[in-house]
Amino acid sequence: MSNIQAPQEFDVLIVGSGLAGLSAALHLAPTHRVAVLTKRGMSDGSSNWAQGGIAAVLGEGDTFDSHVDDTLVAGAGLSDPAATRFVVEHAPETIAWLRDMGVPFSQEDGHLHLTREGGHSARRIVHVTDATGAAVQRTMIEQVRKTPNITLLEHHTLVDLITGKKRGMPVNRCLGLYALDETTDEVLTFLAPHTILATGGAGKVYLYTTNPDTATGDGIAAAWRAGCRVTNMEFIQFHPTCLYHPHVKSFLITEAVRGEGGKLLLPDGTRFMPGHDARAELAPRDIVARAIDFEMKKHGLDCVLLDISHQPETFIKEHFPNIYAKCLELGIDITKQPIPVVPAAHYTCGGIHTDLSGRTDLMGLHAIGETAYTGLHGANRLASNSLVECMVFARSAATDIIATRLDRPPAVPAWDASRVTDADESVVISHNWDELRRFMWDYVGIVRTNKRLDRALHRIALLQSEIHEFYTNFHVSRDLLELRNLVQVAELIVRSAQARHESRGLHFSRDYPEMAPVAVPTTLVPPN
């Protein structure tokens, strides 16, 4: 596999085809030649799976201050007030932009139907029944495909960023990236003055997750290797209610089921959430997930039950048609029976450290969406704040890029694959992948201890040495690249968790069960 193709040059490279990446592409297309690289199909990322909706102050009596306060409360003192207000105040115009594009948001009596989710003090969730992400993504893909100046490159996996430092330049900046084209099995070179990482989160570092297979922390790992800080990686949100069924992988039961009156029950029908929090089922996700984890361990359960069957059948079918259909396929009629659920890794609250324009520590590199740490989510993400964050920061990053003129990158060497061979033992990759996800679930999950974190870090170091040998000596594959990134992200999660000597939000430590009086973000700085 020798790369003899000339570099492909664009004005902006965007890695990721979720709502963040596609929003940025649409904002930039009128003035810039944009390439969107995605490692599978256009709609295979997490955005397409988002069920609940998009939070925005649109209802009568609701206020920006209220949405800000709810976010700060959910963030357990770690949400940045300036970033929070920035997102909240730009959310309504984002909804208007999507409506102008043709997103078919659910209506009631001629107005947008607003639902309520855990942690929100008002109905402010705009949605498309229970498949909001898929509807927005579908509309946006249609728009992108007919927009000039946007080149879509599917089945292109990020290998690494190209930086001035790596090329021996006096000024360190992002020059572009190397990507594996799976259709030709070649590593191609892409150059641009500006690069945006919109690669999503890292849920696949855990055994149980609501995330698609693409959520392998590629952008976070690549930015770290390129010299960017990461912040708050210990805060992994576990969604309380993932469908528990042997024939289904990673099917989320949206927060809105609880927002519309769903009750969490033990197998004998006992409701348990009021004993854990006064807000009961509408408590923030970290509290609900820990409560379910506690009850499962206390009673030796494989799952708990989520019951919405007291609502009228027509109400359930109208509000949750996809959940109703999926469960019915599996023999569960949610109009008459409760849904078996378990917590699962859902959202990466930390990420690449950015400012309000999406700028990272590396000139010419922006990060937006779940891969970025903007300061919005703090120690726990408030439901339905993520999709709006994607689009608000996509616009601010695009605005910054349009206003910032950078020289075109100099020529760089093509990817050199002349000294590597084909891997003879691919089973090593699959074995290491399984081992990583299992010990991360056991040792770095909903409840943590110092001893568990030490064990995890020891295992990670062993895996890193094996993966480095593979990466150095064999042709790269998507599986190898994803494993390399997951192990790097796992190290960042564990090191961040070890640095936090308290329990706050999504990080709960048995060794430090109390919350510290002062909330301080955990920022890791890569070695020089």
Catalytic residues: 285
The whole-angstrom separation of Cα 460 and Cα 173 is 30
Sign of CA dihedral 59, 65, 68, 73: negative
**Residues making up the chain, counted from first to last:** 528
The CA-CA-CA angle for residues 505, 509, 515, to 5°, reads: 50
Kindly report the number of other CB atoms within 10 A of residue 110's CB atom. Answer: 5
Q: Which two structure tokens, joined as six digits, stand for 116? A: 């309520």
- Between CA 21 and CA 46 the distance in angstroms is 12
Give DSSP secondary structure letters for 434-497. Answer: HHHHHHHHHHSSSSB-HHHHHHHHHHHHHHHHHHHHHHHHB---HHHHHHHHHHHHHHHHHHHH
CB 456 within 8 A of CB 439: yes
Q: How many Å apart are CA 179 and CA 39, to the nearest integer? A: 9
Distances (CA, A) of 308 to 288, 319, 338: 17, 11, 7
* CA 31, chain centre distance (Å): 28
CA–CA gap between residue 258 and residue 262 (Å, rounded): 4
CA gap 123, 137 in Å, rounded: 23
Q: Which secondary structure element, helix H or strand E, spans residue 151, and what is its range?
A: strand 150-153
Do 62 and 55 meet the contact criterion of CB atoms below 8 Å apart?
no
Phi/psi at 188 (5° precision)? -100, 155
Q: What is the spatial distance between Cα 483 and Cα 467, in angstroms, rounded to a whole number?
A: 8
CA 21/CA 382 separation, integer angstroms: 22
The whole-angstrom separation of Cα 376 and Cα 411 is 38
Residue 493 one-letter amino acid: I
Do the Cβ atoms of 364 and 175 come closer than 8 Å? Answer: yes
- Residue 334 · residue 324 · CB < 8 Å: yes
Of the CA atoms within 13 Å of residue 303, those in its CB half-sphere come to 15
In which residue are the tokens 């080149």 written?
151
Cα of 477 vs its chain's centroid, Å: 23
The angle at the Cα of 527, spanning 380 to 360, to the nearest 5 degrees, equals 50
Cα(202)–Cα(486) distance, integer angstroms: 7
